[in-house]
Amino acid sequence: MAEKKIVVVGSSNTDMTIKGGKLPAPGETVTGGLFYMGPGGKGANQAVAAKRLGADVIFICKVGSDLFGDNAIAGYKREGIDTSKILRSSKASGTALILVDAGGENCISVAPGANCDLSVEDIDSIAPVIRKADILLLQLEIPMPSVVKAARIANEAGAYVILNPAPACELPPELLKNVSLIIPNQTETALLSGVSCLDEEGLIDAVAKIRAMGVADVVVTLGSKGSMVFSGDKIDRIPAEIVQAVDTTAAGDTFCGAIAVGLSEDMSLPEAAAFATKASAITVQRIGAQNSIPYRKDLI
Ligand code: RIB
């Protein structure tokens, strides 16, 4: 049987990370800690996760005509990702400044640069590639009209469309009608539904509201509490692995890439979420974004 094709449309960044003791408050300077630079961006992280975990991946993004863009493309090529549809912009490549505390929690500030230039016209120009996808994986670090367009093209062609609605923002109704599976965290679930998600009852209400907007399947990620999978009329609770987190950057991206891989291998959604939980548990125990994403052999 031919391998299923996963197409990822999204952002590519260079991450500059300081792993320190505590996150500074506004106006505060905190010294100490270690500096790392490496490849990141939610789209790129998800593409790399899907590839390392065993899928055939095409990544579509826009980078600058600069050294960071050159390095990013060279890195995706080394991973074995199809980079033939990556576009260039006259803007600088995307950059993220990331602070990580002793417990692995982070805060991130992104200068999107070239990611903002991935236009609807660009998406139109690569529509034939999107139509070939079995699974399309999307996030929200590129312009919203481009996300909507890619989702519509893929959905109309019969692909399974996965949306990770991060960074959190309100979504146009047209987007959700073209999405098969949405993977929000607790904060994003509350924002999308307008329902407070402080307890399980709230979460279940919130997911019902999101599903009423046209999305069939929902997986809510709950950090150290695992995830909840809503599919058909079933709810499955997938526990987290108990590990010592050093840096949670890209844990959600690993989870999304891994779910796509699981589904491409015909796992059920709860099985794919359990597989994704194992993968992201490895990511949180390592520093960096793409540098921390595991390979399939690491999951045995
Ligand atoms: O999800 C983590 C990613 O968010 C980082 O790699 C950073 O680039 C930001 O896009």
pLDDT, tens digit, for every residue of 199-258?
999 999 999 999 999 999 999 999 999 999 999 999 999 999 999 999 999 999 999 999
What does the alpha-carbon distance between residue 7 and residue 4 come to, in Å, rounded to a whole number? Answer: 10
Q: Which two tokens stand for residue 229?
A: 């999978």
> How close is the Cα of 43 to the center of ligand 1, in Å?
8
By annotation, the residues acting in catalysis are: 253
Q: Which ligand 1 atom sits nearest the alpha carbon of residue 166?
A: 1
Which residue from 42, 247, 253, 291 has its CB within 8 A of the most atoms of ligand 1, so it is best to mutate?
42
What does the alpha-carbon distance between residue 146 and residue 139 come to, in Å, rounded to a whole number? Answer: 11
> How close is the Cα of 233 to the center of ligand 1, in Å?
33
Which superfamily does 5-10+42-90+115-299 belong to?
Ribokinase (3.40.1190.20)
Residue 141 makes CB contacts below 8 A (sequence gap 6+) with 10, 11, 13, 41, 42, 43, 94, 110, 112, 115, 166, 167
Identify the residue whose tokens are 């905190």. 30
Q: Is 48 in the pocket of ligand 1 (CB under 6 A)?
A: no
Residue 1 pLDDT > 80 = no
Which residue from 12, 15, 139, 169 has its CB within 8 A of the most atoms of ligand 1, so it is best to mutate?
15
Which residue from 118, 142, 188, 249 has its CB within 8 A of the most atoms of ligand 1, so it is best to mutate?
249
Q: Where are the beta strands (DSSP E) in the chain?
A: 5-9, 13-19, 34-40, 56-60, 62-64, 87-89, 94-100, 106-111, 135-138, 160-163, 181-182, 217-221, 227-231, 234-238
Do residues 187 and 164 lie in contact, with contact meaning Cβ atoms separated by under 8 Å? no
> How close is the Cα of 232 to the center of ligand 1, in Å?
31
The model's pLDDT over 38-85, given as tens digits with 9 standing for 90+, comes to: 999 999 999 999 999 999 999 999 999 999 999 999 999 999 999 999
Q: Is 250 in the pocket of ligand 1 (CB under 6 A)?
A: yes
> How close is the Cα of 288 to the center of ligand 1, in Å?
10
Q: Is 41 in the pocket of ligand 1 (CB under 6 A)?
A: yes
The model's pLDDT over 155-195, given as tens digits with 9 standing for 90+, comes to: 999 999 999 999 999 999 999 999 999 999 999 999 999 99
Identify the residue whose tokens are 């990141």. 40
Return the residue whose CA atom lies nearest to atom 10 of ligand 1.
41
Return the residue whose CA atom lies nearest to atom 6 of ligand 1.
40
Letter string b/e over residues 156-176, b meaning 16 or more CB atoms within 10 A of that residue's CB:
eeebbbbbbbbeeeebeeebb
